[in-house]
Amino acid sequence: MGVDRAPSLDVLRTFLAVYRTGSFTAAARQLSVTQPTVTNHIAQLERTLQTELFIRSTGGAQPTAPAHEMAGAVGEQLDHLERFFAEDVVGDTEARILHLGGPLEFTTELLLPALAGRADSLPRVEFTFDVAEELIDRLVAGRLDLIISTVRPRADGVTAWPLMDEEFVLVAAPTMAVRVVGSGSERFRHIPVVAYDRKLPIIRRYWTTVYGVQAELGTATLLPNLSAVRSAVLSGFGISVLPSYLVTDELERGELIDLEQPEVAPLNTLFLAAMTGALSRRRSLRTAVDVIRKAVRDKVRDQDHA
């Protein structure tokens, strides 16, 4: 599929619009151009590549194998260019999708409820869930507009705001809690542990903060995320350390027991971050930052006063 000269961005935009909508008519509507313009762009591209990209029919435009290959090669890169250069709004219509990344549990358990009733203040949002390191890399690479990170991003060109402090709680189901006898960290030496990472990062941080020693714990049940860890702890698989917002209801109902109540609970600050350059260019991104920060602040305040 080699060519002497790459197609123009307008032609590539038209190709992706047809590919994603499955229709020349829909692509023309999406791009605010005439259908003959779409037809001409696709014909030009097919001549350049010397291959058929779409099978036309009354039901639409079916991509061929070369079209699938081309969409995979250029789609994400063209999206990045569009997101970098496009205006915030076209007329009164929001032109952008907000690509927001964050931890699965925080997003589903706290952020989404916090944003309830504020949807009109945000553009269409597409969420990505991952660990902090991956989210920061995607932000810097331009694949995400905003991230919520469990560590402060240190990359050049990133602006970050403290969003909230998450408090950690050492919990177990009642059936497991009765097996914990004595005091101090030694009472947990032979108690099974549930974790999302074999290195037990949250648990080890809790141990050094509260007990001042390294964690020496029993065999861990490993699960892919904190929501799964919570389910396993509720089912009596073992103890774990979880953010308080993830277990508030279970503690109130007695389904989980707080095994330790230190005077100062271990905390971790969550950060909201965006690329500094994007903030200066994009009004909608600055608005989204303000909406999210206020929503989370109000949600935390309401929980504290409950």
Last residue of a domain, one of 40, 60, 85: 85
* Pair (116, 178) in one structural domain: no
The predicted pLDDT at position 183 comes to: 83
Find the mean pLDDT for residues 241-259.
95
Are 176 and 261 members of one domain?
yes
Question: Does 295 lie in the same domain as 158?
Answer: yes
Query: Could you give phi then psi for residue 122, rounded to 5 degrees?
Result: -120, 155
Quick one: what percent of the chain has pLDDT higher than 90? 62
Note the pLDDT of residue 3.
Answer: 56
- Contacts of 179 by beta carbon, 8 Å cutoff, 6+ apart: 191
Phi, psi angle pair for 297, to nearest 5°: -60, -45
Do 177 and 258 reside in the same domain of the chain? yes
Do residue 170 and residue 250 come from a single domain?
A: yes
Structural domain contains residue 2: no
- What's residue 188's pLDDT? 92
| Domain span including residue 243 | 166-265
Q: Is residue 112 part of a domain?
A: yes
The answer to the question of residue 220 being in a domain is: yes
Whether 187 is covered by a domain: the verdict is yes
Task: Tell me: do 173 and 219 sit in the same domain.
Answer: yes
Residues 171 and 160 occupy one common structural domain: no
pLDDT digits (tens, 9 = 90+) for 82-116: 666 654 544 444 446 889 999 999 999 999 999 99
How many domains is the chain built from? 3
Q: Are residues 112 and 126 in the same domain?
A: yes
* Domain finish residue from 57, 85, 113: 85
Same domain, yes or no, for 191 and 233?
Answer: yes
pLDDT given at position 93: 44
- CATH number, domain of 24, equals 1.10.10.10
At 174-188, the pLDDT tens digits run: 999 999 988 888 899
User: What does the mean pLDDT of the chain come to?
Assistant: 89
Q: Are residues 282 and 246 in the same domain?
A: no
Looking up residue 261, the CATH number of its domain turns out to be 3.40.190.10
pLDDT over 80 (residue 295): yes
The stretch 242-252 carries a mean pLDDT of 94
**pLDDT at residue 83, rounded to an integer:** 62
Q: What is the mean pLDDT of residues 283-299?
A: 93
Choosing from 30, 55, 85, the residue where a domain stops is 85
Q: Is the pTM of this model over 0.85?
A: no
My answer on whether 143 and 286 are in the same domain is: yes
Mean pLDDT, residues 31-59 taken together? 91
- Do 65 and 112 belong together in one domain? no
Does 60 have pLDDT greater than 60? Answer: yes
